[in-house]
């Protein structure tokens, strides 16, 4: 069973967001990293990139495939996890910790209501298993 952490918001596309004030730290869920397989490259977004909720934020490449990671919220990229440039496997080993990918400065706080709670996300992935 995939780990689903409390205190985070989730998307049906398997991203998580840790929302603190007007910023959201973003990564992919344990479920996503397990299905992607060994991640070999993370194409991080550039600082200042403007994203809309549901648009491609970045791309991860695994031994199996390349996959888009979608922005859980609209806003501007204000921080990226440069650790992943040299250690993309952190996404597999610690998806909710050192495997975070970017921080978005949220432009529309109302969008948070569209994200899933941990319980809703658990129910969602159970339908996929």
Q: Give a yes or no: residue 41 inside a domain.
A: yes
Asked if residue 124 belongs to a domain, the reply is no
Is residue 62 assigned to a domain? yes
Q: Which domain holds residue 63?
A: 9-107
What are the tens digits of pLDDT across the range 34-86? 999 999 999 999 999 999 999 999 999 999 999 999 999 999 999 999 999 99
3-state secondary structure of 88: coil
Direct distance between the N- and C-terminal alpha carbons of the chain, in angstroms, rounded to an integer: 9
* Residue 25 domain flag: yes
Which strands form 66-70's sheet, in the order they lie side by side? 39-43, 56-62, 66-70
Residue 4 lies in a domain: no
- Average pLDDT of span 4-33: 98
Residue 80's CATH number: 2.40.50.100
Is the pTM higher than 0.85? yes
Does the pLDDT at position 129 exceed 80? no
Domain count, the chain: 1
Q: What is the pLDDT of residue 1?
A: 79
**Residue 51 counted as domain residue:** yes
The reported pLDDT for the residue numbered 47 is 98
Bridge partners (DSSP) listed for residue 49: none
Arithmetic mean of pLDDT over the chain: 97
In a domain? residue 115: no
Residue 3 inside a domain? The answer is: no
Contact 58, 26 (CB under 8 A): no
> Is residue 98 classed exposed, middle or buried when 0-12, 13-18 and 19+ CB atoms within 10 A define those classes?
middle
Please give the residue that has the higher pLDDT: either 118 or 1: 118
């Amino acid at each position: 069973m995939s780990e689903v952490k409390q205190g985070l918001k989730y998307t049906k596309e398997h991203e998580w967001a840790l929302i603190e004030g007007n910023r959201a730290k973003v990564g992919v869920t344990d479920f996503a990293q397990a299905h992607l397989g060994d991640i070999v490259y993370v194409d991080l977004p550039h600082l200042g990139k403007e994203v809309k909720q549901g648009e491609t934020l970045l791309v991860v490449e695994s031994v199996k495939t390349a996959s888009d990671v979608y922005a859980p919220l609209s806003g501007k990229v204000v921080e990226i996890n440069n650790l992943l440039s040299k250690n993309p496997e952190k996404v597999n080993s610690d998806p909710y910790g050192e495997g975070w990918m970017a921080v978005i400065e949220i432009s529309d706080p109302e969008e948070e209501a569209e994200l899933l709670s941990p319980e809703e996300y658990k129910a969602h992935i159970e339908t996929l298993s």
